Amino acid sequence: MAPLLPATTRSLHRLAFAWVAIALCAACSGPNPSGSAIPLSPAGHSARHLSQSGVVVNPAQIGPQVSSEVLGADENVWFDITFPGLAKSFVQAGLTATRWPGGHGADRYHWKSNTYGIGVCSTGFKIGKPYPKSTFDNFMQDIAIPAHLDVAITVNYGSNPKCTAGDKSDEAADWVKYANVTKGYHVTWWTVGNEQYSPDSLDLRSMPHDPTQYAQTVSTDYYHKMKAASPLLPINVCVDASIKSKTWDPTVFSQATFDCVEVHFYPQKGQSVNDTFLLNNGVKGFTYSINVIKGQLSAAGKGATPIYVGEIGSALPPGDKQNMSITQALYAGQIIGEMVNDGIPRATWHSAFGDCDPPSKGGDFSKYLYGWQDFGGTMIFSIGTTRVGCSTTKVKLGTLMPTATAFEVASHFVRNGEHALGASVVGMPDIRAYASTYNGGYALMLFNLNETATENVPVTITGKTSGTGGPMWWYDKKRYDWSKRDKWKGPLSSTLASWQNSFTVVMPPWSMVVVQTN
């Protein structure tokens, strides 16, 4: 859990914030290579001299290939994944990827018995114990397969079943063989351990959290056995990485054998959060962190290594008011845009059906935060608030919370195999813009970060003098505000008319809009 950057743009209430980015795993070769964030295009430079403000899209500035697997959310083994109809929430939100069996629990978890180890391996870090019916097969059959989700798995590095030492790679290799040979589940993303650079993670080896031992163990033990266990289906074996440690990444990246890196990013801590910070500094901090990892990989001679964002959220636990608000939704939407520009091949939000925390857990429910809920937590799909006792307000199991709704809107922007394009914003400081190719035309994802004012945003596509229009989707503060009356509204849609020279998108306060046009 490393401080990355100080908050520089605003004074924040009660205390200053720091970036927190954790769990940077390394090892995944995905469908598209890791790319760089798109720089300001030549069109963007010249557009600064235009008298009219707005968004300028440059089709000549082609960025990284788009992967639809950035639309993901992980799931946890402690949740009963056999409740009927859970897969429908993933489908409605437009998700394409997931991760199993969770974060810190992974280094305690033994997949064959669906249990944690004994003693200290059965508790710790506020993790729930595996639910008896939440087996790997049930997860695949009840959620992953019916929702058409690509699955990533974190294998146990930290502890054996007797809780006397680190786990043996045989358990991981057996899982690979069972998944891909015995069952034919086609699981290609595998990470060795969860945040093993962090003292919060369980590591019972002779030198806990030692990068040299970790690199050697992965290279000489896990990597080759896991690869051999899936002879007909190539897999990616991932290793942990950290932007906090001065020695972990240089050691692991230079000494370990791996296929990709996995990053976990949280810009705040749940005890004290801030809306302005999240929507501005939090988003900038993500690409900053990705660029740090890219630089470290390049220094190790592995600059083309894909980066899997295995966990991302607005804040570390405990759950806070912001988790269920329009503000986290707008943060999540912008992060998806950043991942497209950064060339990220795969990502999973933390979590799908996750925690639901009341204020008594210690999270920030300050009057300075915008929102109406008396509960927070990692869940982007409701786990049934009254059922678990986190609120007296009933939110039906499977309901899409605002962050899941942001994914639903973004799913109309993210199309596998397309390419990011340059997009510049001129003279409109509250507007953020992302662009890509889309089915022979273009897609834009725009954000209005002004809490109170509607923005009329002119859009110009360089070299294009007309277009046939296309569909639009949006979600905003007004839609979210229905939740004050216990009504959870999804996005709205309409059609952009044919246009000449440019078109204008009307953006309500605190909103995100996706536009497709030819």
Residue 186 falls inside a structural domain: yes
What is the CATH classification number for the domain harbouring 435?
2.60.40.1180
What is the Cα–Cα distance from 56 to 47, expressed in whole angstroms?
A: 7
Instruction: Tell me: do 71 and 57 sit in the same domain.
Output: no
Instruction: Tell me: do 326 and 312 sit in the same domain.
Output: yes
What's the confidence (pLDDT) of residue 52? 79
Using left for φ > 0, alpha for ψ between -120 and 50, and beta otherwise, residue 446 falls in beta
Three-state SS string across 140-160, please?
HHHHHCCCCCEEEEEECCCCC
Q: Hey, what are 483's tokens?
A: 């939740």
Instruction: Tell me: do 168 and 78 sit in the same domain.
Output: yes
What is the CATH classification number for the domain harbouring 154?
3.20.20.80
The string of pLDDT tens digits covering residues 435-493 is 999 999 999 999 999 999 999 999 999 999 999 999 999 999 999 999 999 999 999 99
The string of pLDDT tens digits covering residues 288-329 is 999 999 999 999 999 999 999 999 999 999 999 999 999 999
Residue 208 falls inside a structural domain: yes
Instruction: Tell me: do 352 and 214 sit in the same domain.
Output: yes
Residue 454 falls inside a structural domain: yes
Residue 193 falls inside a structural domain: yes
Residue 486 structural domain = 42-62+418-517
The string of pLDDT tens digits covering residues 181-203 is 999 999 999 999 999 999 999 99
Instruction: Tell me: do 58 and 141 sit in the same domain.
Output: no
Please state the rounded mean pLDDT for residues 76-101: 97
List 84's β-bridge partners, or say none.
none
Q: How many domains does the chain have?
A: 2
Residue 199 falls inside a structural domain: yes
Instruction: Tell me: do 318 and 457 sit in the same domain.
Output: no
Using the 3D structure, point to which of 364, 383, 410 is the last residue of a domain.
410
Please, are residues 235 and 226 in contact by the beta-carbon 8 Å criterion?
Answer: yes
Residue 375 falls inside a structural domain: yes
Count the helices and strands in the chain (H runs, E runs): 13, 21
Using the 3D structure, point to which of 389, 410, 431 is the last residue of a domain.
410
For residue 350, give the nearest of 147, 187, 152, 122 by alpha carbon: 152
Could you identify the residue written with the tokens 């069109």? 43
Report cis status (omega within 30 of 0) of the bond before 234: no
Q: What percent of the chain has pLDDT over 70?
A: 90
What is the Cα–Cα distance from 330 to 261, expressed in whole angstroms?
A: 26
Contacts of 420 (CB under 8 A, 6+ apart): 35, 38, 62, 63, 64, 66, 340, 341, 343, 434, 435, 436
What is the CB-side half-sphere exposure of residue 496 using CA atoms within 13 A? Answer: 28
Using the 3D structure, point to which of 410, 433, 450 is the last residue of a domain.
410
Please, are residues 65 and 436 in contact by the beta-carbon 8 Å criterion?
Answer: no
Is residue 388 classed as helix, strand or coil in its secondary structure?
Answer: helix
What is the Cα–Cα distance from 243 to 290, expressed in whole angstroms?
A: 10
Instruction: Tell me: do 218 and 147 sit in the same domain.
Output: yes
Q: Hey, what are 152's tokens?
A: 């990533």
What is the Cα–Cα distance from 447 to 445, expressed in whole angstroms?
A: 7
Residue 2 falls inside a structural domain: no
Instruction: Tell me: do 237 and 270 sit in the same domain.
Output: yes
What's the confidence (pLDDT) of residue 242? 80
Contacts of 504 (CB under 8 A, 6+ apart): 456, 457, 458, 459
Instruction: Tell me: do 145 and 293 sit in the same domain.
Output: yes
The string of pLDDT tens digits covering residues 25-75 is 433 333 333 333 443 333 333 333 344 799 999 999 999 999 999 999 999
Position 273 confidence tier, pLDDT thresholds 50, 70, 90? very high
Could you identify the residue written with the tokens 């949280």? 266
**pLDDT of 370 above 60:** yes
The string of pLDDT tens digits covering residues 375-432 is 999 999 999 999 999 999 999 999 999 999 999 999 999 999 999 999 999 999 999 9
Instruction: Tell me: do 153 and 232 sit in the same domain.
Output: yes
pTM over 0.75: yes
Instruction: Tell me: do 498 and 351 sit in the same domain.
Output: no
Please, are residues 438 and 467 in contact by the beta-carbon 8 Å criterion?
Answer: no
What is the Cα–Cα distance from 323 to 172, expressed in whole angstroms?
A: 34
Residue 13 falls inside a structural domain: no
Instruction: Tell me: do 55 and 102 sit in the same domain.
Output: no
The string of pLDDT tens digits covering residues 93-106 is 999 999 999 999 99
